[in-house]
């Protein structure tokens, strides 16, 4: 093989490598562009869904506020949980695979779930604190109306409308934990698991009723 042919072959190989590199760069740029487009679409959908849920929450929030002059604490918690769920999934968009992003982009159901579940988790946390299952300096305390004996439906109404954080600091703790309950997907489920585990242990530790000897 002549030197001229060797030189031409090297030039062809060099050109082929250059074209292959440019092709890979174009493909990478196209994938990046497609991913950015999907992220933008998912973000817009998430924001739209969150606004709709918050709008409905605010509407329900205003009913007791205008009708009874009472601040509905439970709906306040739900709204903060919705915001927490939105912020959580929005932060994780960059870490999702292209397949997961495409799935979110094509499914409204999976767009609705994170903020809505965030609101549900915030309500569950609110119930946990009211029940006394979660206690301590980090958690809010509440002033609740007393129940009559026997309880009536009016007691339930008072519980829903007249239960408030005991102080400004307790209100701030409630707001913080409501947001965290929606933001952290594992916070409330972990509390549920631990509570269920303690309940099972308590049942296991309960002594079985004594069996009377035969003949008694």
pLDDT digits (tens, 9 = 90+) for 144-179: 888 888 888 888 888 887 889 999 999 999 999 999
User: In the 8-state DSSP scheme, what is residue 138?
Assistant: T
**Is pLDDT of 206 > 60?**
no
pLDDT digits (tens, 9 = 90+) for 125-138: 999 998 888 888 89
Q: Say how far apart CA 108 and CA 125 lie, in whole Å.
A: 26
Quick count: other Cβ atoms within 10 Å of Cβ 181?
27
Q: Say how far apart CA 123 and CA 79 lie, in whole Å.
A: 9
List the structure tokens of 30.
Answer: 């196209």
Q: Say how far apart CA 181 and CA 82 lie, in whole Å.
A: 9
pLDDT digits (tens, 9 = 90+) for 7-34: 666 766 777 676 666 666 666 666 667 7
Is pTM beyond 0.75 here? Answer: no
Q: How far is CA 54 from CA 45, 82, 84, 188, in A?
A: 14, 7, 12, 21
**Helix or strand holding residue 164 (H, E):** strand 164-165
pLDDT of residue 32: 65
């Amino acid at each position: 093989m002549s030197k001229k042919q060797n030189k031409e072959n090297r030039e062809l190989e060099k050109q082929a490598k250059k074209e292959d590199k440019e092709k890979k760069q174009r493909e990478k740029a196209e994938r990046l562009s497609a991913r950015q487009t999907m992220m933008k679409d998912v973000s817009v959908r998430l924001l739209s869904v969150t606004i709709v849920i918050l709008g409905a929450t605010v509407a329900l929030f205003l009913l007791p506020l205008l009708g009874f002059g009472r601040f509905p604490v439970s709906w306040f918690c739900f709204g903060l949980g919705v915001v927490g769920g939105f912020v959580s999934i929005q932060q994780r968009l960059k870490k999702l695979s292209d397949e997961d992003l495409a799935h979110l982009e094509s499914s409204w159901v999976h767009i609705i779930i994170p903020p809505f579940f965030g609101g549900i988790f915030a309500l569950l946390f609110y119930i946990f604190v009211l029940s006394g299952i979660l206690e301590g300096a980090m958690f809010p305390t509440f002033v609740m109306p007393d129940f009559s004996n026997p309880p009536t439906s009016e007691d339930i109404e008072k519980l829903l409308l007249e239960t408030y954080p005991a102080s400004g600091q307790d209100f701030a703790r409630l707001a913080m934990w409501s947001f965290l309950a929606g933001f952290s997907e594992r916070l409330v489920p972990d509390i549920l698991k631990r509570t269920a585990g303690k309940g099972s242990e308590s049942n296991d530790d309960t002594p079985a009723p004594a069996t009377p000897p035969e003949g008694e």
